[in-house]
Amino acid sequence: ATTITTTTASPSSTSTTTAAAAAATASTPQLPGILARTSKHRTTPAAPLAPTAQRKQKPTATTEIATTAKAAAAAAATPKATSPAAQLLRLLTLAATVAGASALWSLEEGDEDCFGGDFTRHGCCSARWGLTGNPVCWDDEFTYLKCCGLGDFPRRPEDDLAWDEELRLNPAEIGETFDFIVVGAGSAGSVVASRLASKDGPDGLPYRVLLLEEGPGKAPAKEKGGAAHPDNPPDGGVWRPKLNVTWTLDDEERTWSYSTGQGAGGTGAANSMIYMRGSPSEYEAYGWSEEEVLDAFKALEAPMEAPGFVADSKYYREYNAEEDDAPGYHLSLVSATKEELPPFFRDLLKAFERGGVPHRIDPHSGPSMHGVGGVWRAMGCGHARCQPTRVPRMGMAIGRPRSSTAAAFLVPTMAKKRQRLKVLVEASVERLVFDDAKRCIGVEISLKNDGAKRDGKRRRIFYRSEKEVILSAGTFYTPKILMVSGIGERTELLRLGIPPVVHSPEVGRNLHDHVGMSIVVGTNVQCPEGYHENGKGGHTILGNTDQFIGQLYAFLNSSSDELGAKGPLDAEIMMLEGCFAGHLSIVFTVMLLQGHTRGRIVVQSRNPSTQPHVDYKPLSDARDINLLANVTARLFRSVLNSEKLAKYELNSTPGWEIISNFKRLAQWIRESLWFYSHPGGTAKVQRPNIDSNGVVDSDFRVIGTQGLRVADASVLTVSPTGHTDGPARLLGELAARAILREHSDKEASADDAQSLALSGYPGVKIPRIGFGTNGFEDDRAVKAVSKFLQNGGRMLDTAVLYNNHRSVAQGIAASGIARSGIFVVTKIPPGDMGYTEATRAIERSLSELGGQIDLLLIHWPSNFDPNAPLPRCASGSEGSWTRCRLETWRAMEEFCNAGKVRSLGVSNFAKHHLIELLEAPERKLKVAVNEIEFHPYWPQPDVMGLCRQHNIKVIAYGSTGGSLMGGAMLRVPAITTIAKRRQKSPAQVLFKWAVQQDVIIIPSSSSEAHMAENMDVLSWELTKEDMQALNAIGKTDRMRVYMPDPNEAP
């Protein structure tokens, strides 16, 4: 919201910052630079909110069966609990009793053994702390459910009875079967569904995807004013019913209402359109590399190019005026240069810079968002080939259409691939369905619209998923669906009469949000006439304007004494302008991005239509008060107290008398607290080497299940820098990639597990391990090829330049293996490029290799020898290597269409070569393969990312460094240490590193023993730690073995 409200001491009354600022102007004396320049005040640490002490007594262990039995007994004792679930719980209780589980702690009151000494029930479990308990009590032995009990958990048994009756009288009908089912068409779900529906399976058949959305199907009503406006979100049914959060301040209850979006685009179709990626390095803790994150953002966003802003290709997809309508949402950079700002704002930026916070035009062109300036907005230009633009003021962007993932991805996919994607709206997901192996096999839904009723009852349908179900229902509703389906804390599930499927205690826990407060600062700068008038007697409001800069955003570290110190970017200062009493005023909203307070989602009934209860007590962790107070004091001291701003005669609410007194400041923060509705964390990722538990892994798979993933902001264990819509979009892209990686290459039948399907060529599969014939000629080639085939190998890599086609064919004949079971790859050299020349080279290669080529590649994008003569297609005024590549590809396609060549690809293509070919309108057939140098010292993340994005398989040469390095790579300590621990050779470790990333390898050893070792890499796995150690090599020390560098080729 752009009109900031602060809650007064009375919970029933609120006042806008307009009134607060007016009061400040009237009553607060003006101070030079806000505070006395001689002040040496430093805030003191906040007193703990509860006494810290050591337990005198360790809690005694409670057996799992006892816990389950007690929970079962309580659930079964629910009045009128006569459902089959209740009967099952009674049986569980009886089973536990028979097993001798007698030491049961009270389900309602918790385990008294948790407490001792200063750790009292009241200190740890009082209502002040909510349903997570006092943070001071948190340790490995304390959980709220165990120690405090379930007595305060809200419960709706009447809804249980209604649900039991619904199940009895209205069974679900059997619906269609799909490959994938995606729940939720929000910022993440729209990306997941469209990406999956745009791909083919390994059998060459398109995936069928069902997207289920609880919201309306029609587009939301137009934004107020007729176009996208951050102050005026759309009307209509775009919001879910509100979820209220309550807490107390000085014995008075306060309430915050969460509104989350529904319908196509989710909250992204109704929010204020602020678009922030977060710092790419923040995501590494989740197991997602900085390169992978940047590549995902590039794939999501339309190419960036804006006046006054040069897009760095490292961080943005490059703009190409001739490119086709590739999916991607358009953005507008609302950010001013210093020269474009009025004097006060120029001086404000100088004050920030003196405090160590640099001004930057673009928050995303760097490894970190540290700095102050404008931000991107999810607002486009209204047409497919829109070139994103930079504007200095928000008012200049108002009127542009809103850019949501639904508009950018879902709508085009539905238009072009309707037979692949079915979207069902007003469909409420009731629960997930599992088989005995805990595989999610589908969902049960109910249709909300009256037209779908059957015999006066709402229709309930079961849809089956052949492969996976992906939950993208959001921070509040994803954990609810998991819990009503039997995935959650076992005791909590049994309390609701839900048979547990997976004991997952973190489901619904770890809820976090951005909280903060607003400081109003007045100036002596006269506002222009009519500035910020609302047409009601001259009263003015805050907002985005045409006259001055609309907003500035600063991202910084909250814990340091220095405002601009390096460190985690866990605080944001958002600056909005307004006009009070005829003078410019600025609201500085201080927001804590990575607070320590945690809440939880509580399911109140097994009835899926019952709204979840949100329990969150803001600032219950004392560290959060400290951090907000610290940022506020540093803002006053380093910025508002700057000599650069003294001439503006600043005054503020609150004044320095409050800021300089920690106790008064802490109380003011509590009284003025505001939620910013960026929740996350309720189905958190178990981060590698950091977390001991979680709900999903780094590939978004729900731990303990099969065929189920979560892709939305609920997986964010810690909130990223900035607001959460951009990260949610990223999660959708990363999840889709993880799913496609797994299913594109690993769904082949068990007897074909050693091969990968080539996308775009149905039925064509390439073995994961081949034999590289470079350097083998004549009789030596015949013997090596024959030996490799006789030892189980089935793929041969050759080329025109290797001068061994006939020898390879003779080796195949000598092996006794049928040609139909062997996969042969060859390549057209630069000297044979061009339509006529390539045609002749292919005909010659077919003749030499026996009449069939399984995979035909362009060997190099251009001459790799600077002294080699140019082919005709690259010569003369009209010649170019682009022309050569396209003419060669046309010739290759003709042979493929004629059935003489089974699949097509390239070799040594850099990213710009691949993009050129992928975007060429002349290209009709899929680029299936790129053969490149690939090893830990040269991992080529840009090329690999693009290949994964387009499902292009990679063949790696030079995996061990080759003879050019004299075996040096095989002696690297990081590699030899892993080899020794795994009892493998260093070469096997390097090959496995590639194979484990679904990269095809082509070792060139003619030793029979080495051939056997190479084939063995499919039978074992490197650990996650091994892969991380090998991946780390390329981050610090990159080196090519083979020359020249394709990145330098035209």
Phi and psi for 786 in degrees, rounded to 5?
-60, -45
Q: Residue with structure tokens 């990626």?
A: 277
Which one, of 410, 298, 203, 465, lies nearest residue 950 by Cα?
A: 298
Which one, of 358, 355, 354, 353, lies nearest residue 369 by Cα?
A: 358
Phi and psi for 447 in degrees, rounded to 5?
-90, 130
The answer to whether residues 935 and 958 touch, using CB atoms and an 8 Å cutoff, is yes
Contacts of 1037 (CB under 8 A, 6+ apart): 937
The answer to whether residues 635 and 650 touch, using CB atoms and an 8 Å cutoff, is no
Q: Residue with structure tokens 């000085």?
A: 250
Phi-psi region of 438 (alpha: psi -120 to 50; beta: other; left: phi over 0): left
Q: What is the set of active-site residues? A: 802
What one-character-per-residue DSSP string does 890-926 give?
A: HHHHHHHHTTSB--EEEES--HHHHHHHHH-TT--S-
The answer to whether residues 666 and 46 touch, using CB atoms and an 8 Å cutoff, is yes
Which one, of 917, 108, 160, 11, lies nearest residue 603 by Cα?
A: 160
Give the 3-state secondary structure of 563-580.
CCCCCCCCEEEEEEEEEE
The answer to whether residues 785 and 811 touch, using CB atoms and an 8 Å cutoff, is yes
For the record, the structure tokens of 769 come out as 């391990």
C-beta neighbour count of 81 within 10 angstroms: 18
Averages of pLDDT over each 10 residues, the chain, 1050 residues: 28 32 33 30 32 35 36 39 40 35 51 81 87 82 82 91 92 92 93 90 80 74 45 60 84 83 73 84 88 90 68 76 62 83 90 91 86 86 60 70 78 75 92 93 87 72 94 96 96 92 95 93 82 47 44 84 70 86 88 92 95 93 92 92 93 92 93 90 91 92 96 92 90 95 62 78 92 94 95 95 96 90 96 96 96 96 90 93 97 94 96 95 94 93 92 94 71 92 93 94 92 89 92 77 86
Residue 589 Cα to chain centre, angstroms? 26
Question: For residue 111, what pLDDT is reported?
Answer: 81
What one-character-per-residue DSSP string does 473-491 give?
A: S-TTHHHHHHHHTTEE-HH
What one-character-per-residue DSSP string does 682-727 give?
A: TT-B--TTT-S--SB-TT-BBTT-BSEEE-SGGG-SSPPSS-SHHH
Rounded Cα distance, 404 and 389, in Å: 17
C-beta neighbour count of 122 within 10 angstroms: 10
343 DSSP β-pair partners: none
516 DSSP β-pair partners: 591, 674
The answer to whether residues 320 and 303 touch, using CB atoms and an 8 Å cutoff, is yes
Rounded Cα distance, 951 and 6, in Å: 51
Question: For residue 390, what pLDDT is reported?
Answer: 78
Rounded to 5°, angle at Cα 992 from 988 and 997:
165
For the record, the structure tokens of 606 come out as 């097994």
Pairing mode of beta strands 515-526, 502-503? unpaired
Question: For residue 745, what pLDDT is reported?
Answer: 55
Rounded Cα distance, 405 and 85, in Å: 40
Rounded Cα distance, 916 and 918, in Å: 6
Whether the predicted model's global pTM rises above the 0.75 cut: no
Phi and psi for 469 in degrees, rounded to 5?
-115, 135
Rounded Cα distance, 737 and 953, in Å: 14
Contacts of 876 (CB under 8 A, 6+ apart): none
* CA distances to 31, 36, 637 from 40, in Å: 16, 9, 10
Q: Residues in the chain, how many?
A: 1050
The answer to whether residues 304 and 317 touch, using CB atoms and an 8 Å cutoff, is yes
Which one, of 13, 36, 27, lies nearest residue 637 by Cα?
A: 36
C-beta neighbour count of 565 within 10 angstroms: 16
Contacts of 746 (CB under 8 A, 6+ apart): 753
Which one, of 224, 236, 232, lies nearest residue 263 by Cα?
A: 236
Question: For residue 539, what pLDDT is reported?
Answer: 36
Residue 692 Cα to chain centre, angstroms? 21
Question: For residue 677, what pLDDT is reported?
Answer: 86
Q: Residue with structure tokens 């889709």?
A: 736
For the chain, the C-alpha Rg in angstroms (whole number) is: 32
The answer to whether residues 998 and 952 touch, using CB atoms and an 8 Å cutoff, is no
Peptide bond into 654 cis (omega under 30): yes
For 146-279, strand residue ranges (E) read 173-183, 209-213, 243-249, 252-258, 274-275
Phi and psi for 614 in degrees, rounded to 5?
-105, 120
Phi and psi for 1021 in degrees, rounded to 5?
-130, 145
H/E stretch holding 469 reads strand 460-471
* CA distances to 86, 129, 695, 705, 1011 from 436, in Å: 21, 39, 20, 11, 42
C-beta neighbour count of 416 within 10 angstroms: 13
Question: For residue 146, what pLDDT is reported?
Answer: 83
